[in-house]
Structure 1
Amino acid sequence: MSDKPDESEKTEEASSKKLEEAHKKGDVAKSQEVSAWFGMIGIALIIALLAGPMASQLAQPLSTFLAEPHAYDMDGGNILRIVQRLGVMVFLALALPLLLLMVMAVIGNLVQHKPVFSAENMKPKFSKISPLAGLKRIFGPIGLMNFVKGLAKLTIVSVIAFLVIWPERDMLGSLMRVELAMIPLIMQQLALKLVIGIIAVLTIIAALDFAFQKAQWAKKQRMTQKEVKDEYKQMEGDPALKGKLRQIRAERGRKRMMAQVPDATVIVTNPTHYSVALKYEEGMAAPICVAKGVDLVAFRIREVAREHNIPLVENVPLARALHATVEVDDEVPPEHYKAVAQVIGYVMKLKGKLRR
């Protein structure tokens, strides 16, 4: 039996961890139609903006060569130099259009997914050279869909070409009577019409195909309930991760606790090892512990208390008892009411004297 889970068992959406792993392997949602759409946009820009300058750049040396071939020495060495010179001219004329097409190809990939740098697809795999696997790819559902899609695209492009060129048939037939300098401009306009028509239809095809590829990719990345549980166990079982999470939670809790110290009514201290900050206001059922700590945390609580003129009362047994039995944000338990009431009563009297 295969170790791969049945597709029907994949009922859970992919976790962010699995999506990140798929991206690292180069497994991303990608539509070839979107890339083709950007390629056609590049071709349209070349025809509209660069075709004229490119034709002019090539026309002058080629026309001279064709008009006066007798002026050139045709020995072996000279022919090589002529070919090299023409090759350089052609390269320079085509360099900018080729660069534009490369840029559009990159943009066509970037709009679909973030950059991918993976050697996973370069690794040798038996399935890539297996005839059986190749036949499954060709005659499988995806292969048949790609065949139908390619046939539909070819049909649509043919129809568009017919609709664009057929109305211009009389003009094309009279090109022999048109000035030679006007022919490139006429052909440029006709080619631009054809490309724009293809882009209009390809826009719809690309949008539908991208949505389809995205949905198929998301379906492929789904997880079984067992995979979800295993991943959760793996993450929770990592000691380093658990320790880091505990550290983060403790730090956040400590910061929130220290922020409540200025609201305390009194600090009950050991006075060296324990500090418990209590808050009591008229109408409260019982005092509340807003902060507590030992050693360095206790020292910091006392420092904040002194900065905000909060009374510190030394009571060793009460400080130890409160630290052991009361959690932060909880009320003081009834067994400590009497001792706490005496401390808070003392603080209230002290505040009254200071006001007088």
Structure 2
Amino acid sequence: MADEDDSEDKTEDPTQKRLDQALERGDVVKSQELNTWFVIAAATLVMSTFSGSIGTAVLVPMRNLIANSWMIHTDGAGLLALARSLSFAVIAAIGVPILMVMLAAIAGNMMQHRLVWSGEPLKPNFGKISPLAGAKRLFGKQAAANFAKGIFKLVLLGTVMVMILWPERLRLESLLHMDVSELLGVTISLTKHLMGSVVALLALVAIGDYLFQYRQWYERQKMSVQEMKEEFKQSEGDPHVKGRIRQIRQQRMKKRMMAAVPKASVIITNPTHYSVALAYERGMSAPVCVAKGVDNIAFKIREIAKAHDIPIVENVPLARALYATVEIDAEIPVEHYHAVAEIISYVMGLRRTLSGHPR
């Protein structure tokens, strides 16, 4: 019941990360019918292409063996040499066709998924030997699909074979009276016809089975809402942690700004909301913003400025513009040079006057 509830909760489409993890642990789309089709198709191609050359390659050494049988040594070494030569002849005759069938089997897997090297399927899983798991495999959706598929193939292939062989029934009866040389040609012709029809029909079965297996695999990879949240936290970071980090950064920036306010030359402010602290010394190309803020931070900047006798100049539009366009530790934009220069000049003149050194 718990497994059923878990599967019902998994309603979200899998992410690419989930699909990659399934591939890494060897959980891939696997249609045995598609593999079977590739092997049968390759065998049919091999038979139709290499049957003559295979027959000739095997016939020649066998004919020589029979013709020269009187020369064969019957001792152990002689029989071993004979077996070795016959083995080489058979391997040379069927080596390439067998290799083609093997490559077709590999291609059947690669058509479904890329090659995977995983030891996960080899690990012991005691859940697979439980009676409940066995009952699910016997009476589950996969077992029902395999049973229906087997019945369908049996009926379909049986029907096709009857349709092909029934018109040839008289010809098949005459095989009993045919010469051996003629019998081989007729047999090869009928076999090619049957195999071609089987390959065509099994292609339909293979396509249908692959689509079914893919759907089953995709359903297994589906995720619950909680799993989606956990994966998002792992990939993007916990929102609470990110919020805390952002808060710490803002606090550090605020402390750094407040520590820099006493170095400012002037505070340009909108008395109710904005404060921008600018520092300027002779030789600098332009004033630099050392601190800025709104509301409580703006009030704190003004408070520190008063404590350190830093001039505060009220200029509503300039305060707003500087706050919006200049970053901390950056020079003011060119378009504000003139307005800020007037304020800096006024402040410097005021300081000289207060210090007793008139212009």
Q: Is the 8 A contact 1:5 1:224 kept in 2?
A: no
Verify: 1:315 aligned to 2:286, yes or no. yes
> Residue 201 of structure 1 corresponds to which residue in structure 2?
201
Relative to structure 1, is the Cα distance of residues 70 and 36 closer, same or farther in structure 2, using a 3 angstrom cutoff? same
Q: CA–CA distance in 1 between the matches of 2:92 and 2:131?
A: 43
1:193 Cα offset (Å): 1.0
Aligned-residue offset at 1:64: 4.0
- SS of equivalent to 1:320: strand
Letter in 2 for 1:172: L
Distance 1:222 1:7 in 2: 8
Aligned equivalents of 1:164, 1:185: Cα separation in 2: 17
**Structure 1 residues 159, 75: closer, same or farther in 2, change over 3 A?**
farther
Q: What do the CA deviations read for 1:265-311 (whole angstroms, capped 9, x no partner)? A: xxxxxxxxxxxxxxxxxxxxxxxxxxxxxxxxxxxxxxxxxxxxxxx
Deviation at 1:148? 2.7
Aligned CA distance change for structure 1 residues 52 and 238 (closer, same or farther; 3 Å)? farther
TM-score with structure 1 setting the length: 0.65
Q: Look at both structures and tell me which one has the larger radius of gyration over its CA atoms.
A: 2
1:191 and 1:94 mapped to 2: Cα distance? 19
RMSD: 3.6
**Are residue 343 (structure 1) and residue 330 (structure 2) matched?**
no
Moved segments of 4+, more than 6 Å: none
Mapped to 2, the partners of 1:6 and 1:342 lie a distance apart of 63
Structure 1: which 5+ runs fail to align? 247-312, 327-332, 347-356
- Cα drift, residue 127 of structure 1: 3.6
Q: Give 1:175 shift.
A: 3.5
Match in the other structure for 2:51: 51
Matching residue's letter, 1:335: L
Report the counterpart of residue 35 of structure 1 in structure 2: 35
Aligned to 1:263: none
Q: What pairs with 1:210-225 in structure 2 (closer than 5 Å)?
A: 210-225=210-225
Name structure 2 gaps, 5 residues minimum: 247-283, 295-315, 323-331, 341-359
Deviation for aligned residue 1:334: 2.4
Cα distance, 1:221 vs structure 2: 0.6
- 1:101 alignment partner in structure 2: 101
Matches within 5 A, 1:232-247: 232-237=232-237
TM superposition shift of 1:52 = 1.2
Q: Is the 8 Å Cα contact of residues 26 and 120 (structure 1) preserved in structure 2?
A: yes
Q: TM-score, normalised by structure 2?
A: 0.64
Task: Write the letter of the residue equivalent to 2:285.
Answer: E
Partner Cα separation in structure 2 for residue 168 and residue 142 of structure 1: 39
Deviations 1:161-187, CA, capped at 9 Å, x for gaps: 222223223333334555544443332
Q: Equivalences for 1:216-295 in 2 at 5 Å?
A: 216-237=216-237
Return the alpha-carbon distance in structure 2 between the equivalents of residues 36 and 97 of structure 1: 17
